[in-house]
Amino acid sequence: MLVKPHKILSRPVEDKDINRVYDEAKEIYKIFGKKIGMYNMFFAIAHQQTTKDDPLRFFIINPKTKIAEQLPEAIIINPEIIRHTNNTIDSEEGCLSFPTLPPNVVQRWNKCEVRFKVMLENKQISGWQTMNLSGMLAKVFQHEIDHLDAKYIYDFK
C-alpha cells in the first residue's frame, strides 16, 4: 500500500474529504504491525506515503506506540508547526518510504508547538488543537509534516 517517494504536495483536508480520510485511514491502519523492509515497528504513516493521487494533509500515529497515549486521537489532520525553539538536535531516523536504506541523521527542533485537527470516532473533524511537543513526539510530527510537504530524510544530506 506504500508508494514510491514522490514530490506531490499534500493538500489540506476539507469537510468534503471526511469520508475519504475515514476510508483511507482504515486501509493505512492495516499497515501497522506489518514488517516493511527492515522495519518491524514504526511511529506513523503520512497519507502522502500511500498515494500519488491527490494526497491529503493527514497522518496516523501508530496506536501501538507509547506516543499515541499523548494525543487525543491517532488521525492527525492539517498539522502545522506554529512555533519552535532555535535549538536543534541530531535525530537518527528511518523511513518507510525507504525501507531498505539505513537511518539518516537529520536536524530536528528540540521543542515545537503544533496546531492540528483530529478525526473523531463519529467521523467528524475536531476544531483546532495546539500542543507543545518535545522528545519523540516532536520528532515524529516534524518527520510526518516533512512527508506532507514532500520532503524526505535523505533530502537533508
The predicted pLDDT at position 1 comes to 83
Nearest alpha carbon to residue 6 among 149, 108, 157: 149
| Domains of the chain, residue spans | 15-156
**Annotated catalytic, 144?**
yes
| Distance, CA of 142 to CA of 121 (rounded, Å) | 25
Nearest alpha carbon to residue 146 among 36, 5, 28: 5
78 backbone φψ class: left, alpha, beta (φ>0; ψ -120 to 50): left
Query: Between 3.90.45.10, 3.40.710.10, 3.40.309.10, 3.10.450.350, what CATH number should domain 15-156 receive?
Result: 3.90.45.10
Kindly list the averaged pLDDT for each block of 10 residues, start to end, along the chain of length 157: 95 97 96 92 96 98 94 96 96 95 95 97 94 97 98 84
Active-site residue (options: 24, 73, 93, 144): 144
The predicted pLDDT at position 117 comes to 98
The predicted pLDDT at position 33 comes to 87
Question: Cβ contacts of residue 38 below 8 Å, gap of 6+?
Answer: 94, 99, 100
Which pTM does this prediction carry?
0.96
The predicted pLDDT at position 157 comes to 56
